[in-house]
Structure 1
Amino acid sequence: MNLRNLLVPLGAIGLIVFGFFAYGWAGVAAVAGGLVMWALLHFTRLMKVMDKAAKRPIGYVGSAVMLNARLSPGVNLMHVVAMTQSLGEQLSAQDAQPEVYRWTDGTQSHVTCEFHQGKLVKWALVRPEPDEATPPQGA
């Protein structure tokens, strides 16, 4: 079980109790208002990320190399979706752990990310081999 699933509700209840003992019902109202504002800020951010991701193809990223450089272990899936502005192409089975997603760019380079419990565990960048028949773009 994720400890955060237990600590966040207990922290909210603790803040409400503290507000009641410190300022009475006005303290409960102030703390409850602050908690609602916090929840609305997170909900708004989630909706903005999903709105941007809905406007792009699934599994597409502008540059797989830049995405690879910006990733770090422990980043959650929503943060990666916000960076790519696109939902990843799911390679793993639905609701299976670990979750595996892929983002591909226009040069067919792709980053495959593995998430365990919603947190990035590992990722790999794959770049296609250059074709000898195709001249370099600078030539």
Structure 2
Amino acid sequence: MNFQKILVPIAGVALVALAYRGFGWAGVAAAVGGLMMWLLLHFTRMMQVLRRTANRPIGYLDSAVMLNAKLKPGMTLLHVVAMTRSLGALQSEKDAQPEVFRWTDGGQSHVTCTFVGGKLTHHVMVRPEEPDSPPATGELPPAP
């Protein structure tokens, strides 16, 4: 169960109650103002991330290797979208848990991320196989 969905509203109500007890209605006004500022900051960040992703192709990123190096379990989907500046291509069924998204770069390497409850649980990077090339012999090719 996601306790954050329960504890944050309880903490907000407790903050307002403590502000009323300590400072009266002026404290309530200050506490509610602070809570509204906090909510507006989070909303503004979310809108800024989505604005940056609006003009990018879905599921594309600049470097899958760099994304793979930066990912850590527990990151939110919004944080990953902010890092890639692109919405991930949904690989799982819509509104089903876990959610699986994929981001692919120009070299066809891709990172597949699994989110449960909006948090990253694990990720896998896949690079395309390189074609077989002749072994280097250390000799220069013949001159024309």
Common topology (TM > 0.5): yes
Q: Distance in 1 between matches of 2:121 and 2:2?
A: 16
Q: Which runs of 5+ in 1 are unaligned?
A: 134-139
Looking at CA atoms only, which structure, 1 or 2, has the larger radius of gyration?
2
| Aligned equivalent of 1:57 | 57
- 1:37 corresponds in structure 2 to 37
Runs of 4+ in structure 1 deviating by more than 4 angstroms, as ranges, are none
Q: Identify the residue that residue 72 of structure 2 maps to in structure 1.
A: 72
Matched residue, 2:96: 96
Gaps of 5+ in 2: 134-144
Aligned residues: 133
Structure 2 residue identity aligned to 1:104 = T
Deviations 1:2-27 (A, max 9, x none): 10111010000000000000000000
User: TM-score, normalised to structure 1's length?
Assistant: 0.94
Counterpart of 1:112? 112
**CA shift at 1:131, angstroms?**
2.2
Give identity over the alignment, percent: 59
What is the alpha-carbon root mean square deviation over aligned residues?
Answer: 0.8
CA-to-aligned-CA distance 1:44-81 (integer Å, 9 cap, x gap): 00000000011110000100000000000000100000
| Distance of 1:119 and 1:110 partners within structure 2 | 19
Q: TM-score of the superposition, structure 2-length normalised? A: 0.90
> Aligned AA for 2:94?
Q
